[in-house]
Structure 1
């Protein structure tokens, strides 16, 4: 269950990163370069969480 929740969380990080880049807002108005940097980091972290969750799901399927 935790692995599937990690997949959903990764997806939301990616969506949040895209929203920060488009609206340039994250609790306060951001400068464009800051918005791009923060949005990029959020997207990268979301991809990392999804990748890690997929690996754990595949490994748990092989152990059973």
Structure 2
């Protein structure tokens, strides 16, 4: 169950990164020089969470 929740959380992080880049807002108005790297970093973390969850799901399937 935790792996599936991690997939959903990763998707939300990717969406949050896109929102930060498009609206340049994260609890306060951001300058573009801050919004782009922050949004990219948040999206990168979302991809990492999805990759980690998928690899754990695959490893769990191999063990059964």
Superposed CA deviations along residues 3-52 of structure 1, whole A, max 9, x for unmatched, are 00000000000000000000000000000010001000000000000000
Number of residue-to-residue matches in the alignment: 64
Structure 2 gap segments, 5+ residues each: none
Q: Report the counterpart of residue 34 of structure 1 in structure 2.
A: 34
Residue 19 of structure 2 aligns with which residue? 19
> Which stretches of structure 1, 4 residues or longer, exceed 4 Å deviation after superposition?
none
**Corresponding residue number in structure 2 for 1:6:** 6
Length-normalised TM-score, structure 2 = 0.98
RMSD, aligned α-carbons: 0.4
- Structure 1: 5+ residue runs without aligned partners? none
TM-score (norm 1): 0.98
Residue of structure 1 in register with 2:46 after alignment: 46
- Matches of 1:61 and 1:33 in 2, distance apart? 43
